[in-house]
Amino acid sequence: MNYSKYHQAHDAYRISLNQNNFLGGLVNLINDHLNEFSIQVKDGSSNYYFPDFLSSRLDNFCLFFESTLKPFISRMPISSRNPVSKVLESWDVQIGKDILKLPEALKAIVNLYYLGRVNEASKTLEVILKEVFIKQIGMNQELYIINSIPAKQNFYRARPNGEKPFERLELFHHNFENRHLVSTNRYSIPGVPALYLGSDPVICNMELNTPGFDNLSFSRLENNIPLNVLNIQRVEDAVFSVLRPNYNFLNKGNDIVAAYCAEYICNYISSFPLIIACTCLVKKPEGNFKPEYIIPQLLLQNVLNESKIDGIKYPSTKVVYPEGCSVDLSYNYVFPVKTTKKVGLCDRLSQMFNITEPTSLKLHDILNEHLDEQNQYNDLRDIIYPLWKILDNKPALSIS
């Protein structure tokens, strides 16, 4: 999305939000304290110790909640006739406590992992996810940090070119007979294949640390069914994603829609300690063990064991996101295998996606001419439009 258009739209949302004191005030408060919602932070000290670094970041957010967010909520008047008031009461009483409970659990999980008690750490995360993020919806219980993706959405995948062109299914996940190639990564468990996708070709390029597009092959994937993903999201994108489709209702002063938007944002805030723990930048990329991967890998393990969740949506650590701008398209996705066998591909993932024949373009010279290091994501995205168009016009074919 064009960043200037984002700011124009956001100004319009500010005007409409003024009609609702709580929602408008909450959005303005977040925008005025974006530094408190920073992710992808790296410690610059020489005596780096990850448990202390994570504890410090979590403690700082809790302090911000206690000193700024909580007083703001407490000052808002409660009215039985206003749907937003129900959100205020629920958030102040219950979710406010959860915000303080979650950081302590995350600290304990990291310490358990450092003691070699990995199973106990995983179980602790599973318990806290259910305690903090489960809410009652009618007769069902659902995680409210789940994002539903409609069918027929586009995803992209890239691989560095080899000695010969890739077959179509070589752009899918590692075959089960190649488990030995699956190494540790932020959202990767050694030996467990998973399908890693980007929301656009630029993200795929950046994740592979490839200087150009000339030595990459790309495929487009399309989901056949709706997908449920855990949403690890930047605050700018979380706010914009709920305000954008509801702008007209908010502009007309619809209190029910305002309550929904307020609840969505409050739920995001309650999940932010988990987002902090999942987005810490790696201090020592050359290391075999990267403590910054502890929580993301345990989170993926929980997804493997949860039939109602298909994957995780998460921001790239390779992109320098402009502060205050919504670039909700620039995300990664991981979908772990849900079945296993000796050889071949996961039956479940094969049913979930179609994939195009791979393609590539010689864009290296163009990129070198136009690359702007201060805003490289935005520049690359405009430059590779021809590749994007070719991929979107290729038919996505069945896997199974």
**Beta-ladder partners of 382:** none
Confidence of residue 291 (pLDDT cuts 50, 70, 90): very high
**Nearest CA to 172 among 149, 150, 151, 155?**
155
CA torsion, points 377, 335, 271, 30, in degrees to nearest 10?
A: 20
Mean pLDDT of 383-400: 83
| CB neighbour list of residue 57: distance below 8 Å, 6 or more residues apart | 41, 276, 280
**Nearest CA to 17 among 249, 328, 324, 270?**
249
Confidence of residue 24 (pLDDT cuts 50, 70, 90): confident
pLDDT in tens, 141-179: 445 577 889 999 999 999 988 778 889 999 999 999 999
pLDDT in tens, 67-77: 998 888 777 65
pLDDT at 103: 94
pLDDT at 363: 42
Q: Of 41-45, 335-339, 356-360, 364-368, give the lowest mean pLDDT range.
A: 364-368
pLDDT at 266: 82
d(CA 133, CA 266): 12
d(CA 31, CA 94): 24
pLDDT at 244: 82
Top pLDDT among 213 and 242 is at 242
Confidence of residue 202 (pLDDT cuts 50, 70, 90): confident
Residue 314 sits at φ, ψ, to 5 deg, of -150, 150
Whether the per-residue pLDDT at 382 is higher than 50: the answer is yes
Whether the per-residue pLDDT at 49 is higher than 90: the answer is yes
CA torsion, points 370, 375, 379, 381, in degrees to nearest 10?
A: 150
pLDDT at 93: 52
Q: How far is CA 169 from the centre of its chain?
A: 26
pLDDT at 79: 53
Is residue 170 exposed (0-12), middle (13-18) or buried (19+ Cβ within 10 Å)?
Answer: middle
pLDDT at 87: 61
Whether the per-residue pLDDT at 341 is higher than 90: the answer is yes
Confidence of residue 195 (pLDDT cuts 50, 70, 90): very high
DSSP 131-175: HHHEEEETTEEEETTEEEE-SS-EEEEEEE--SSPPPGGGGSSPP
Q: Do 195 and 334 contact (CB within 8 A), yes or no? A: yes
Q: Where are the chain's structural domains?
A: 3-144+233-278, 149-226+337-398
- Residue that has been written with the tokens 């399908």 in this structure: 195
pLDDT at 212: 62
Whether the per-residue pLDDT at 368 is higher than 50: the answer is no
Average pLDDT, the chain: 81
Whether the per-residue pLDDT at 323 is higher than 80: the answer is no
Confidence of residue 362 (pLDDT cuts 50, 70, 90): low
